[in-house]
Structure 1
Amino acid sequence: MHPWLPFEWIAATRFLREGRAQSLLIIVGVGVGVSVIVFMSALLSGLQSNLIRRTLSSQSHIVVLPQEEVARQLRDSAFGPLLQKQAQRLRSIDQWQQVRNRLVRMPEIAAVSPVASGPAFAVRGDANKSVTLIGIEPEHYIQIIALDEKIVSGQLRLNSGEAVLGIELAKDLGAGVGDKVRINTGNDINDTLTITGLFDLGNKGVNGRNVYVGLRSAQTLLDLVGGVSSIDLSLHDIYAAEAVALKIAGETGLQVDSWIKTNAQFFSALTSQRISSNVIRFFVGLSVAFGIASVLVVSVVQRSKEIGILRAMGATRGQMLRIFLLQGGIVGLLGSLIGSALAWLFLALWRALAVNPDGTPMFMITVEPELFAIAAAGASLVGILAALIPARRAARLDPVEAIRG
């Protein structure tokens, strides 16, 4: 040992070396616990990111809509006024340009895109399909939904008289890039469009229903000249969608739907998954703490004479306390290093084995370096806390009684 090392460090490492078998077992045990926590954290994070990415691949984080038309009163009856629910027709957001400019200035919002959408029919030859016509400004819309990255044939070009279709709809119509398709919105307005691209958003329903055109073309076809039916938003923090939606609704008086609200069951499942994972990690950490504490308690009992001799030679209670706290911290740190290596191995095996039939990974798992640093700090802290009780017991030993055994 170097002469400049503190007395507590020398004694702590010597105690650990003397009980090699016990020390090795508890370090390996801590390593296994840390590897489980790190592996579960990385796996759950990757799984949730993949699920959210797939869910939001074809929808925005928040949609701002016109207010619903209120029910009208038909007549009074003995049971009160008789109301008839008003049929909801396609309407534009009132003064939508001002609303958009207001939303752009909100720090929580990453991107804003006006949209004009409504029902229509796509006709080609004998094929007639009910579709959703969506008019967009591509330069703004791709910041919310990466439509340009989902083009599998042709390109995302939406000039006047041009459209982009989903691959399922194109198959149903028997059409491809360069072919013509007739769009009829059912209000005596129709137009013949040239297909410039086919997209695949990973959702069969969306691929078989959506037709994207330029915003001005949709406004004309849907009789929304100069208006938009919704404003799509992208957020910096997707989990704050509901809070931001409520804030926008309160400030604008418009109807605002977040992805959390429209996917309530999915979000509830994610929350339950996260809570159950945290519970499992808590109990794994608790078992690691009890393992370290039990080994150090045994160490105090086995080394009571050595502790008594050290106390008789002038070691203070504080030094004895620090010796066993150091042992707990060293065990936790070494265990976290072993656990991090095991977790990295498990994740490498997962990437190699969990693949789709075409060889692509089932979902991407990215391990942040901070996760290993947090694991090391957490395991060391757990080790120190677990050593607190045996350390206090060692510090309180009477040197005479300890030497007598």
Structure 2
Amino acid sequence: MLRLPFVPMVALRFLREGRVQTALILAGITAGVAIIVFLSVLMAQLEASMIERVLGSQAHVVMRPLEEANQRALPQAPDAPAAAASSVIEPRTQRLRAIDQWPQMLALAESLPGVAAASPLASGPAFAVRGRASRSVAIMGVEPERYRRIVKVDQYMVRGPFALAGNHAIIGTDLADDLGATVGDKVFLRTADGRNDMLLITGLFDMGVRDLNRRWVFTSMKMAQSLLDIAGGASSIDVAVTDIFSAEPIATRLRQRSGLTVESWMTTNSQLLRALRSQASSNDLIRSFIVLVVALGIASVLVVSVVQKQKEIGILRAMGASARRMMAVFLLQGALLGLGGALAGIALAALMLAVAAHFAASDSIFHGASLPVATALDAAAMALLVGLVAAWLPARRAARLAPVQAIRS
């Protein structure tokens, strides 16, 4: 028969003798760990869903030419008329401008660490006309191979592939409804300065954002450059980064090295960023309260165990068990409670997620939800650490019991 070493044998015996207390605290730890894991996965899914809805159709960082600024007039002579001395400075009307030496700026963006992809864009306003219908649109001249690395536009296509050549155009489903057009029809594009061309609709997309579906018209880069009168130019450069929360530091480096106007999604979508941070803070607060409750539960059970087992502790000490070994007994109990509750809690959380994913709708945040291994390992490590910390004071108390006093009491 296999005999366990002294410390695990005594620890397991103490836990066995207090079956009711052990079962209750294990149930509490299981529930706590399950809630923490379930909430962590829920918050991660919610964050991913929010980011996908907002950033799924836009670049993480955008580089544009500097805006033209007005210059104040030189001071007038003392004898100048009052009307000449007082001038009203009005904002300069912004015109469509191209980025100077945009291929070099594109190479600069692609060379920075943390940048996943970069794509030039020739964009500007125009009118889409078909029959008597006319709509204000935004021309989006792109290089398809580069642009699909910025926006996963292929997954938004509802008809036709995302391929552009010659006079081909891809429009949104809402714009198609407004114009009464579909794939195979032609649409007339006219810019403010009188340039125009007839384009063939070869695809329809649905970004999930009505404004984009009504305004964006994708064309080839050359077609957009011709319509917008920026031959060979790019009005902006879209950049995708590997870590979306590093977008602002990367935008700062690009701004310093390029001299262009560079904005990240963290600036243009500051409300989303605040919402994500508030969500993370709420999750951390809830987890802290649950961890505190679990720690107090483990500590209270082990304190009661020390009181109940004073006589046994005294006898063991009298038989030669050192204070360090008695302390190890109760620390091991805390670790076993934490680890056992963690394993059961992880299993319960996985079951809850599986049930939620099974009954969730296709557009629900639980659709396709699963328990990441990293989350499970973090929960197990946290529960083990909490068990050890919570057992520290009861273990010290057990170690300090004098053998004669413990047996007498």
- Indicate the TM-score class for this superposition, using the shorter chain for normalisation: over 0.9
Do the aligned partners of 1:73 and 1:82 also contact (CA within 8 Å) in 2?
A: no
Tell me the CA shift for residue 365 of structure 1: 2.3
Residues in 2 aligned to 1:261 and 1:116: alpha-carbon distance in whole angstroms: 22
Asked whether 1:141 is paired with 2:140, we answer no
Do the aligned partners of 1:73 and 1:84 also contact (CA within 8 Å) in 2?
A: no
Listed one character per residue, the Cα deviations across residues 221-277 of structure 1 (whole Å, up to 9, x for unaligned) are 000101101000000001111111111111111111111111111110111011111
Which of 187, 200, 203 in structure 1 is aligned with 2:206? 200
Match of 1:2 in 2: 2
Tell me the CA shift for residue 105 of structure 1: 1.1
**5+ residue gaps, structure 2:** 77-81
Tell me the CA shift for residue 76 of structure 1: 4.8
Asked whether 1:394 is paired with 2:398, we answer yes
Percent identity (aligned) = 49
Tell me the CA shift for residue 352 of structure 1: 3.1
Residues in 1 aligned to 2:305 and 2:86: alpha-carbon distance in whole angstroms: 81
Do the aligned partners of 1:135 and 1:212 also contact (CA within 8 Å) in 2?
A: yes
Tell me the CA shift for residue 381 of structure 1: 1.0
Match of 1:32 in 2: 31
Alignment of 1:121-160 (within 5 A): 121-160=127-166
Tell me the CA shift for residue 342 of structure 1: 1.2
Asked whether 1:173 is paired with 2:179, we answer yes
Do the aligned partners of 1:50 and 1:364 also contact (CA within 8 Å) in 2?
A: no
Listed one character per residue, the Cα deviations across residues 330-356 of structure 1 (whole Å, up to 9, x for unaligned) are 000110011011111211222234325
Count of equivalent residues: 402
What SS is found at the alignment partner of 2:72? Answer: strand
Listed one character per residue, the Cα deviations across residues 367-399 of structure 1 (whole Å, up to 9, x for unaligned) are 211211221121011101100000000000011
Listed one character per residue, the Cα deviations across residues 89-146 of structure 1 (whole Å, up to 9, x for unaligned) are 1100111111111111112100010000000000000000000100000000000101
What SS is found at the alignment partner of 2:125? Answer: strand
Match of 2:361 in 1: 355
Asked whether 1:14 is paired with 2:18, we answer no
Moved more, 75-84 or 11-20: 75-84
Residues in 2 aligned to 1:23 and 1:264: alpha-carbon distance in whole angstroms: 48
Letter of the structure 2 residue corresponding to residue 2 of structure 1 = L
Residues in 2 aligned to 1:21 and 1:53: alpha-carbon distance in whole angstroms: 48
Do the aligned partners of 1:154 and 1:198 also contact (CA within 8 Å) in 2?
A: yes
Match of 1:46 in 2: 45
Residues in 2 aligned to 1:361 and 1:241: alpha-carbon distance in whole angstroms: 25
What SS is found at the alignment partner of 1:58? Answer: coil
What SS is found at the alignment partner of 2:246? Answer: helix
Tell me the CA shift for residue 28 of structure 1: 0.8
Residues in 2 aligned to 1:362 and 1:212: alpha-carbon distance in whole angstroms: 33
In the superposition, the TM-score normalised over structure 2's length comes to 0.95
Match of 2:250 in 1: 244
Tell me the CA shift for residue 6 of structure 1: 2.1
Moved more, 205-214 or 71-80: 71-80
Tell me the CA shift for residue 84 of structure 1: 3.0
Tell me the CA shift for residue 157 of structure 1: 2.1
Letter of the structure 1 residue corresponding to residue 255 of structure 2 = A
Do the aligned partners of 1:161 and 1:193 also contact (CA within 8 Å) in 2?
A: yes
In the superposition, the TM-score normalised over structure 1's length comes to 0.96
What SS is found at the alignment partner of 2:371? Answer: coil
Match of 1:335 in 2: 341
**5+ residue gaps, structure 1:** none
What SS is found at the alignment partner of 2:123? Answer: strand
